[in-house]
Amino acid sequence: MAPSIWAGSLIMATNFYKRARDRRWSSIKRRSKTKCLFTISKSAAKEIYNARYRNDPTRKKRFEILENLEPFPDQTVGELVNLQKATPALVNNEDLIIKIFFNSFIDRFERERAPITMFGSAITFDKKIAGIREDLVKYAQEYQTKNVAQVTTPTQATATASTVPSNGLAVPA
């Protein structure tokens, strides 16, 4: 096969793969809008990630870990808030906070401990997920405690704000 024919075949294969991938993603989006069975959408997404990262085992492993860590992965944050309002016993505050700040908490975990793909490499997958989950719950509790403290002590906040010099437009100088 001549080099130019080989290059053309490679470009055609790449374009075919990209179109197929885009069709699968649009199918997943359509399924999520119509509230299709979560297992179907999840399996389709998993198939796409396996194809996309077939030559990158680290990213494949990262996807698998994140998939197991995110609480209520089939729900949006808005849906989860509504679910918590309707049935408070089903969704606890920690899960909701983790869902909202999931990426930030994962970044913090990786800064403080280790990349999630390397963390707990000598232990079983279940123990690894449980260990990371403990830290995520701890971060959510810290966030919750910090915000409850700010809400319960508004007089301290106004006292601090009144001691800051202002330019007369309620903006600190």
Q: Express each pLDDT in 62-98 by its tens digit.
A: 999 999 999 988 888 998 999 999 988 889 999 999 9
Residue 124 or 38, more confident: 124
* DSSP code for 172: B
Task: Classify residue 36 as left (phi > 0), alpha (psi -120 to 50) or beta.
Answer: beta
Please tell me the predicted confidence (pLDDT) of residue 164: 43
Does the pLDDT value for residue 138 go beyond 60? yes
**In this structure, how many other beta carbons lie within 10 angstroms of the beta carbon of residue 71?**
19
Domain segments of the chain as ranges: 10-52, 57-152
Task: Classify residue 35 as left (phi > 0), alpha (psi -120 to 50) or beta.
Answer: left
What is the per-residue DSSP string for 82-101?
HHHHH-TTTS-HHHHHHHHT
Instruction: Report the alpha-carbon distance of residue 94 to residue 112 in Å, rounded.
Output: 20
Please tell me the predicted confidence (pLDDT) of residue 118: 94
Q: What's the mean pLDDT when you consider all of the chain?
A: 76
Q: Do residues 132 and 68 make contact, with C-beta atoms less than 8 angstroms apart?
A: no
Distances (CA, A) of 38 to 5, 34, 106: 43, 11, 24
Residue 24 or 116, more confident: 116
What's the mean pLDDT in 136-163? Answer: 70
Please tell me the predicted confidence (pLDDT) of residue 62: 93
Nearest to 68 by CA among 97, 98, 94, 37: 98
Does the pLDDT value for residue 59 go beyond 60? yes
Please tell me the predicted confidence (pLDDT) of residue 4: 53
Total-model pTM: 0.64
Nearest to 116 by CA among 97, 135, 142, 139: 135
Query: Which of 2-6, 27-31, 43-47, 148-152 has maximum average pLDDT?
Result: 43-47
Does the pLDDT value for residue 34 go beyond 60? no
Cα 47 to its chain centre, rounded Å, is: 19
Does the pLDDT value for residue 112 go beyond 60? yes
Among 12-26, 69-83, 100-114, the minimum mean pLDDT is found in 12-26
